[in-house]
Amino acid sequence: MAYICGMNESDQQNLKAQILARLQELANEDSLGEDGQAVVQLDQQMVGRLSRMDALQMQAMAKAQAARRATEVRRLQAALSRMAGAEYGYCEDCGEDIALKRLHLDPAATKCISCASG
């Protein structure tokens, strides 16, 4: 494996393992959240109006959480692609190295702290 932005091989392996572990967590959360996204039954005899409204709200929240997970999955997969292409760890704006501490906090980060805050 080629060295990426001044990281040693151990750093690269740790970050890759962190990304893969998070992808697995997100897949597990997705499978648990499927029930919450199911169609809400509109049977008046089974569920009262307020309970049905609560179920619809819970369904909307479950769908929003699934969308957030999907966005995070795309970011993490893009980070793995950048890693494979030896483009990982470089700021997409200025081209400078992204600090290793920042990558440990957010392994999908695409900008250095200076560009991200500016």
Assign residue 65 the CATH number of its domain. 1.20.120.910
- Whether residue 3 is contained in a domain is answered as no
The stretch 90-118 carries a mean pLDDT of 94
d(CA 8, CA 11): 5
**Per residue in 66-88, pLDDT tens?**
899 999 999 999 999 999 988 89
pLDDT in tens, 23-64: 999 999 888 766 555 555 555 555 566 677 787 888 888 889
**Count of the separate structural domains present in the chain:** 1
For residue 84, what are its two tokens? 């494979």
- Residue 56's pLDDT is 81
Which tokens belong to 102? 């920042």
Q: Is residue 1 part of a domain?
A: no
- pLDDT, tens digit, 9 for 90 and up, residues 3-14: 566 688 899 999
Q: What's the domain range around 67?
A: 9-117
Task: Please indicate, yes or no, if residue 92 is contained in any of the structural domains.
Answer: yes
**Residue 90 three-state SS:** strand
Q: Does residue 47 belong to any structural domain of this protein? A: yes
